[in-house]
Each structure stands twice: as C-alpha cells, then as structure tokens.
Amino acid sequence: MTVHFHEEDLPAGVLADGPVAVDTETMGLVTPRDRLCVVQISDGQGDEHLVRFAKGSSYDAPNLKALLADPARIKIYHFARFDLAAIEHYLGVTAAPVFCTKIASKLTRTYTDRHGLKNLVEELLGESISKQQQTSDWGAPELNDAQREYAASDVRYLHRLREVMIERLQREDRLDMAQACYDFLPTRARLDIAGWADKDIFSHES
C-alpha cells in the first residue's frame, strides 16, 4: 500500500479499469469561495493517488478530468454532493456516475444517526481511521505526512464499503431508490453552487 503524490494532474495509466473511489479536500465548505486543493483517487488495488492543486492553479488537469468524466467508470464517494460540486466548479466536469456510501448508509442503517465515514469503517469493516486532519490547512505550500495519510484514508475503504452497502440495499429492497438518489446528485450539486445549498426546493414552505 503506497500513497502517491502528484502536482496539478494525475499521471496517465496509473489506475486499473473499473470503479474509482474519489474524495476532495478544499479550503472550506463554501464551494465558490473555498478553493479545491486536493483530489484523492483509488482504484481499490491498494494504492492511493493524491493530486494537489496550488494557489492560482488553472486546474488544467486533462488526465484527471478525463478519468472523472468517464461515463464508464463508477465514482465512489462518501458525501458525494460536496465532492461533485467542488469538482464541477473547479475542474469543469461532472464526476459521475455516482455511488455514495453516505446516502447508502442513511437508507440502510436507519437504526443510527451516525453516518460518518469513520463510523462506517469501524462498524462495517472493523477498521479504524483518524479524522484529526479534517480541518487542517489544505492550501499550505507543503502537505505534511499526517495530511497525506488522512487524505489517502478517505478513499482507501470506499470500494469495500460499496460492496457491503450494495448487499444491504438489496436486502432492504432500496437499491433502486438509492440509484435514483445517485442519479440526481450532480443536479443537487449544481443547485448548491447556484445558491440553493440551504433550500429544499421540494418543501411546501417557501
């Protein structure tokens, strides 16, 4: 298991075919304000790839963009809504089709309100991950080893979680419902970017 670090783009040919786990690190939670700093990718074969974007980046990353926009590759996220918005706003591509482990958890683990990645990894995979670097400075000129390990751990377990979640969604007859949610997520992300992040347009209230 190796964490590979790249500047401004993903090298060509470093990932196996099939689904890829994807995550992002940004300067904050407001997508148009808080720039995209890191995109993490894993093909589930044991290594993770981190692509760092410097301040003032043009986000001209043809290999990464082609991968994220590939309609033949499922992208596995935890809380896809946020990552899709960051990727679309800064890289200009729709990183779909989607599988979101957070949505799958909310549809199947209705016995709890703990749907964070750390909770899922501990309960479903019997492993432990640290979230200490979650609020660190991802825009710093250099990322330290702790930051790199944290970023890598956010995609390390997503392939295995997807397998468990598919089984649970099938067991509870909610796989089609989950897929409908996933299909809508790129639009939900665009609504967030356009200013409807805190509004439920399906609600009766104005």
Q: Kindly report the CATH number assigned to the domain that includes residue 135.
A: 3.30.420.10
**Token pair belonging to 104:** 């799958």
Q: Which residues contact 20 (CB under 8 A, 6 or more apart)?
A: 41, 42, 43, 44, 67, 73, 74, 75, 76
206 domain residue, yes or no: no
pLDDT at 197 (0 to 100): 92
203 domain residue, yes or no: no
Question: Whole-angstrom Cα distance, residue 32 to residue 101?
Answer: 25
Residues of the chain with pLDDT under 50: none
Q: What are the residues facing 6 on neighbouring strands?
A: 51
Which structural domain, as residue segments, surrounds residue 160?
3-10+17-196
117 domain residue, yes or no: yes
**Token pair belonging to 113:** 């309100």
Q: How many domains does the chain contain in total?
A: 1
Q: For 154-202, how does the pLDDT look when each residue is reduced to its tens digit (9 = 90+)?
A: 999 999 999 999 999 999 999 999 999 999 999 999 999 999 999 889 9
Name the residue among 61, 63, 71 with its Cα closest to residue 95.
71
173 domain residue, yes or no: yes
CA–centroid distance for 149 within its chain = 16
Interior CA angle at 100 toward 109 and 175, to 5°? 65
- What stretch of H or E contains 76? strand 75-77
176 domain residue, yes or no: yes
Determine how β-strand 36-42 pairs with β-strand 48-52. Answer: antiparallel
49 domain residue, yes or no: yes
26 domain residue, yes or no: yes
205 domain residue, yes or no: no
The dihedral over CA atoms of 48, 167, 178, 18, expressed in degrees to the nearest 10, equals 40
